[in-house]
Structure 1
Amino acid sequence: MLINAELLLQYQRCKRRSFLDIHDDKSQHDAPNELLLKLQQDKKAHRQGILANLTCQKPDYPRGNWEAGQAATLKLMQQGVEYIHQGVLLVSNELVNEASESLNYKKYTFLSRPDLLVKQPGKSCFGDWMYVPANIEMGKRPKQEYQVVIAFHAQVLATVQGVIPQTAWLLLRNKNPNYAVDLTKWIPQMQHILKEFIQVVDSPAAPEVFIARQKCNLCHWYNQCYAIAQSQEHLSLLPGVTPIRYTQLQAISVNTLESLAHTNPIILENLLGFDAQVAPKLVVQAQSALQRQPLILPSPPPIENITFTAPVELYFDIEAQPDLDLNYLLGVLVVDKQNNTEQFYSFLAENLAEEELVWQQFLDLVWQYPQAPIYHFCVYEFDTVKRLAKLYHTPYSSVHPVLNRFVDVYEQLTQSVALPVESYALKAIARWLGFEWHDQEANGAKCIYWYDQWLTTGDRTLLELIQRYNEDDCRATRHVKDWLVNFIENEYNLRLA
């Protein structure tokens, strides 16, 4: 069986994924979504940008013939080539120190294909030089998963060249891209993780499902795992159940929605990952899911601190392109209840140079309604307005009164009620309330992809899709806010009755 760095990388993110990648039918993969395709394109462009400044040689061999690939790579190493791009190194013997007899490492072949093998002074089987591995990564920080992977490459390389390098390199996407990895620290950690990995893939059954949406959404096994989690009513589908909290709940035999809903919060308060605020909130969340109805949380904010209805209300949502650090669309829905009118304003930057213009257009609009609350969902809009004000040197007097009018519907809702939803994302909540987007498959990730395609193709229909999605987000925020106001008022009146 072949073990490569990609399997080891994905194992650190999800143990189940690596098992499925090795043992399951690849035809069952989900189709790659647009954001994943964009990330792959961006990574390719990032690599090409770095490699363009180096004189590299790449081993020539038939695709997938790793033995031929290693032979071609060894030939380049023997010649003392300065930079070898995507060399192939194979090791069939054991990589893990102090191996357990219960693990049969000899049935595995370890395949290493670092982005670069870099020639350095030293002694090796090739002569008065040696090689160190370097990987080109999209991240801006030297994450553990990156350092474990480069340590894997270094260990395989050490076996091939007869000497272990002391340092390996990560070429990151920041102002100081070259990061030296201390292999004396990371090779032992890599070996420990590799042992765990082999134990998992040698097991007769896949690891338990756990849905962690931010990590799972781009995975090609997501739909399969999600279907299993739904059929089991798995606790990971409950908002607030993190991997740490799930482990703690398992330890006290709280394994189902019903058992959690009937657990005394005091039992949970002192567990790792819980406290006096988290424990009762999570129990009510389970009760809400079990009863399939919204419930007031313990100790909600006073009703006077909950959002209100005003004569004129503004609903605000931003679309951004993270790679460009560009907030290209500032959408505002103006709801004038006195005149019974609604109007949506879409301030769109078609390129980076127009961001300042749309920022000023946004300010001009919101100052036309100086008393109107500005509703948004989550903190991004608030933080972005502060950042744009700083970036474009907007006077304090023009921004501070605007920020004081911001009302975060997400914050108010999550502090007040528990809903029978799997996520407190805007889409999940609004759809539970009956709101639908015009484009059923549209989401923030697709907008990132669409805007990237707009910049490449100039196809204006892509901008129209983004603008319609942004307007729907504003209207969904209004839908959630109106429901929250009515629900809180009704509950308050019932308690007074």
Structure 2
Amino acid sequence: MEFQQGSVDAEELLAFFRCRRLPYLDRFGPQEAKLPPESLLEQWRRDRQALQAAVLERFPGEEVAPGNEALLAAMAAGAERIYGGQVVAKLFWEVDPEGAAEAEPTDSEVALAPSLETEVELTEDNSTDKTSSSLALPPEAIPEFRSVWVSSSLDLLIRDPSSIGKGQLSYLPVHIRIGKRPKPEYELLLALQAELLGSLQGQVPKCGFLILKDGKWHLVHLSRRRTQVRRLLQDYLHSLEQAEPPQVFMARSRCHLCHWREHCRQLNAVAQPLSLLPGVTGSRYPLLQEAGIHSIEALANARLEMLQAIPKLGAGVALQLQLQARATLSRKPLWLQSPPQALPTAPVELYFDIEADPRHNVAYLLGLLVVEQAEENKVVNYYSCLAAEPREEGQAWQQFLQLVQRYPEAPIYHFHSFEVQTCRRLGEQHQTDPREVRQLLKRFVDLHSWVQRSVVLPIESYSLKNIARWLGFKWRLPEGSGAHSIYWYSQWLETRDRRYLEQSLIYNEDDCRATYCLKNWLSQGSVLAPVDGPSPDTWAGH
């Protein structure tokens, strides 16, 4: 695939940072294979628009149309705040004659690194000039440089107070997002906007701001991010020139909301790429490639001593990866050892799962499956502790505590750490006696941890969904996910359509039942013989 000289949008670059395959498929993939946008993504888009409107109301300013000309006019007028608009500039960088990848810079190199050279897109009346002296040369005089037009929509620009009275005003970029904390991708976008903004005002801002869900302004220093965004842009353009889409790594995947997820799943089912093997990360993949390991089969059949001798990989990780490859090829589980102690059992067992909505900062559903042994039969009942309104979270929490106190000797099974973390928060927020919370948490049994220590599975990731589906468990709502749970609760609050709550209840009950299914399987498998090898305590984890 040959990428012709064109333009790149900042959102493409963010997509590339999240998943190196996504923007490639958006440009060149079979468009008929794309899925419709997920409802939750649309909800997040509306939430972000609402936050932007709230910022504008609190901090009034001038709203401008897209394009450099409108921005320059607002800047020339000395506007304190400029909302909206779009900046476009040509970015240059020196081409490596050897084509070698640029090494990750050290902190000292970052401080000294030159910025991307920029060229302003000329308006119709040629009222703007090039801002960098090196760019005053005609293009044919700098053949060793490569360039691309880059555009970015802007949320907000604020006048830099330090530039007042110095002859020419300058502006700082502000990015508005609904996240709870600053993320690298937000800071990278700010750095890119700073580069583009420098083309208009003659100097690149050294800092910018993030406004997040809480409405607070977070200062971001951009020197290191500017170096990273230059490398990211070069990598992205290089990927667009390749005949095949980039590899993706399961350890960093964000596939569950992607419109290409089914397309990728079908490709992966046929190709079984090494990059999607659990445990193969972006840093481990090149180490395996350099050692001549290019496939899952090669990894499974390699001499363990050779794998353990690979620099920077580690003996425990080498064993982990080989066992994972063998389980994947055989499509059978490999038992590492019997669990360090038998899974706790009791006449009554509880299976616990929480649904939460970060938009409203509420754990709105605490679901509990109660399994009682009655003679030769088991009696299974599901209980939902529901906060139909966010303000009812405390009532749902108290209802849950009263329910588990009916069975003081029953172990409480859950999957992964979210339930533990959330119960600690609920206890603190609703002023539960710390001793009661400690006693509660002593009863918790994390089945994710037991899986990690006990068995290697032929699956693409160690989530409850993947494990339980591999075991044959089926959710009644096949499209259900944590993301859908957030969307359903938000829609219930907005529409009062009780069908959304009912979907959340069905989904949560099935999560509890999937946890029950996993526990039963682990109990049966724990009596099987383990494979030979070091203890999984030496592993870096799945």
Return the TM-score normalized by structure 1. Answer: 0.88
Q: Which moved more, 1:138-147 or 1:406-415?
A: 138-147
Which of 34, 39, 42 is the aligned partner of 2:39? 34
- Counterpart CA distance in 2 for 1:223 and 1:377 is 26
In structure 2, distance between residues paired with 1:192 and 1:243: 16
C-alpha distance 150-26 of structure 1, shift in aligned 2 (>3 A): farther
* Structure-1 separation of matches of 2:52 and 2:311: 41
**Structure with bigger RCO (C-alpha 8 Å, 6+ apart):** 2
Please point out which of 66, 74, 93 is paired with 1:76. 74
Label 1:242 to 1:306 Cα distance change in 2 as closer, same or farther (>3 A): farther
* In 2: Cα distance, 1:463 partner to 1:273 partner: 49
Q: 3-state SS of the aligned residue for 1:246?
A: helix
Please list, as runs of the form range in 1=range in 2, the aligned pairs for 1:30-429 lying within 5 A after superposition.
30-60=35-65, 69-92=67-90, 94=92, 96-97=116-117, 101=143, 104-105=146-147, 108-120=148-160, 128-174=168-214, 176-182=216-222, 184-212=223-251, 214-269=253-308, 271=310, 274-297=313-336, 299-302=337-340, 305-338=341-374, 340-429=378-467
Per-residue CA distance 1:455-493 (angstroms, 9 max, x = gap):
11111111111111111111111111111111222548x
- Contact 1:88/1:111 (<8 A) preserved: yes
Structure 2 Cα separation of the partners of residues 25 and 220 of structure 1: 12
**Is the alpha carbon distance of 1:426 and 1:272 closer, same or farther for their aligned partners in structure 2, counting shifts above 3 Å?**
farther
**Which residue of structure 2 aligns with residue 14 of structure 1?**
19
Q: CA deviation at 1:312?
A: 1.2
Aligned residues: 478
2:472 paired with 1:467: no
| SS at 1:439 equivalent | coil
193-202 vs 436-445, which deviates more? 193-202
CA 1:437–1:74 in structure 2 vs 1: closer, same or farther (change >3 Å)?
Answer: same
**Cα deviation per residue 1:384-420 (whole Å; 9 max; x = unaligned)?**
2222222222224433332222111221122111122
Aligned equivalents of 1:396, 1:486: Cα separation in 2: 36
Deviates more, 1:403-412 or 1:264-273: 264-273
Amino acid across the alignment from 1:191: R
Cα distance in 2 for partners of 1:50, 1:15 equals 32
How far apart are the structure 2 equivalents of 1:237 and 1:422?
7
Q: Which runs of 5+ in 2 are unaligned?
A: 1-5, 94-115, 118-133, 136-141, 531-542
Distance 1:486 1:187, change over 3 A: closer
1:430 matched to 2:468: yes
> Which SS does the other structure have where 2:42 is aligned?
helix
SS of aligned partner of 2:170: strand
After alignment, is 313-322 or 155-164 more displaced?
A: 155-164
- Identity over aligned pairs, percent: 39
Structure 1 counterpart of 2:55, one-letter code: I
Between 80-89 and 323-332, the greater mean CA deviation after superposition: 80-89
The residue type equivalent to 1:449 in the other structure is Y
Per-residue displacement from partner, 1:198-239 (whole Å, max 9, x unpaired)? 333344543234445642333333332332222211123322
State the distance in 2 between where 1:291 and 1:237 align: 16
TM-score with structure 2 length normalisation? 0.81
Specify the SS of the correspondent of 2:420.
helix
Q: CA 1:161–1:270 in 2, change beyond 3 Å: closer, same or farther?
A: same
Letter of the 2:361 counterpart = D
C-alpha RMSD of matched pairs (Å): 2.7
Residues 273 and 468 (structure 1), Cα distance of their counterparts in 2 relative to 1, 3 Å cut? farther
Where in structure 1 are there 5+ consecutive unaligned residues? Answer: 61-65, 493-497
In 2, are the aligned partners of 1:244 and 1:272 still within 8 Å (CA)? no
Alignment check: 8 A CA contact 1:80 1:129 kept: yes
For 1:154 and 1:213, locate their aligned partners in 2 and report how far apart those are by CA, in whole Å: 27
SS of residue in 2 equivalent to 1:334: strand
**SS of match in other structure, 1:3:** strand
